[in-house]
Amino acid sequence: KNRLYRNDGTGHFEDIADTAGVAEPINSLPCWFWDYNNDGALDIFVGAYTMDMDAYAANVFGLPVDVERTQLYRGDGQGGFQPVANEVGLARVSDVMGCNFGDLDNDGWLDFYLGTGAPGFDFLVPNLMYRNVTGQHFDDVSYSGGFGHLQKGHSVVFADFDQDGDQDVFQELGGAFLGDAFANAYFQNPGFDRQWLGVKLEGVQSNRCALGAVIHVWLTEQNQQRQVVRVCGAGGGFGGNPLQQHFGLGSATLDRVEVHWPTPAGYQVQVVRDVTPNQVLHIRESHD
């Protein structure tokens, strides 16, 4: 089974996977923490690795299958999780290897790309890109977006490689054997004419790279306030995103940026106001 270890703050860890309800799928690869619905609570994505081509094909055609499927656990912020893969359209056979997440269209909602496959020469299934629709469900845009390569997918990176304000995608492709090699893929984002903000953190009391810091960007859109939340880290498995965090703002007005720094005394909040969009904002930790 999978294991989830809770840090008690004294150097000890407790396995709470069963009590939290996140011990499955058993054949898992990969997993990550993120906040897919921007509610401030961490959620967990877990891929199921079946290596069963028949089950994959049957699932595509809507036939019943008796294998594990991808799971998404929605966090409640109190240590509890609810399985919601069926609810959001992700309960499918996927056989994930490399993966990562980012914001393809600068709307503030995290999308993700799954590199698929298995070592065998005959195991070829399309890589999968999912677009997050306001944290309510995910649309498969693998083919409409040109991401559905029929090749084994490994390392995935979301980053603004050309520094034009949107996230591009790099993927390492090819199998484990020389005869199964393939050229890597680079997807250049054409842009969506939406605002954005880059945030680069420098820790002082917390770790210098600000790993584990939580950034809340508060926006106003159509007289409604909402937040976009990111946790400072490298993203999913078999790949690493930049530690500089990217926020799609859409057409919203940027109100303020809140950084929750992970200090030895607990999380400390720093607020930055009067921020101009469409720039990279450098924030050095300060608790004055």
Q: What is the 3-state secondary structure (H, E, C) of 160-215?
A: CCCCCCCCEEEEEEECCCHHHECCCEEECCCCCCCEEEEEEEECCCCCCCCCCCEE
Domain final residue, candidates 141, 164, 187 = 187
How many domains, the chain? 2
Average pLDDT over residues 24-36: 91
Are residues 19 and 39 located together in one domain of the fold? Answer: yes
pLDDT tens for each residue of 176-208: 787 788 899 999 999 889 999 999 999 999 999
Domain final residue, candidates 187, 204, 232 = 187
Are residues 57 and 200 located together in one domain of the fold? Answer: no
Are residues 50 and 176 located together in one domain of the fold? Answer: yes
Percent of the chain at pLDDT exceeding 90: 72
pLDDT at 288 over 80: no
Are residues 65 and 199 located together in one domain of the fold? Answer: no
The whole domain housing 244 covers 195-284
For the chain, the average pLDDT equals 93
Type of residue found at 93: V
Are residues 243 and 118 located together in one domain of the fold? Answer: no
Are residues 176 and 232 located together in one domain of the fold? Answer: no
How far, in Å, are 4, 229, 232 from residue 249 at the CA level? 33, 12, 18
Are residues 177 and 232 located together in one domain of the fold? Answer: no
Are residues 182 and 200 located together in one domain of the fold? Answer: no
Domain final residue, candidates 187, 213, 231 = 187
Average pLDDT over residues 263-276: 95
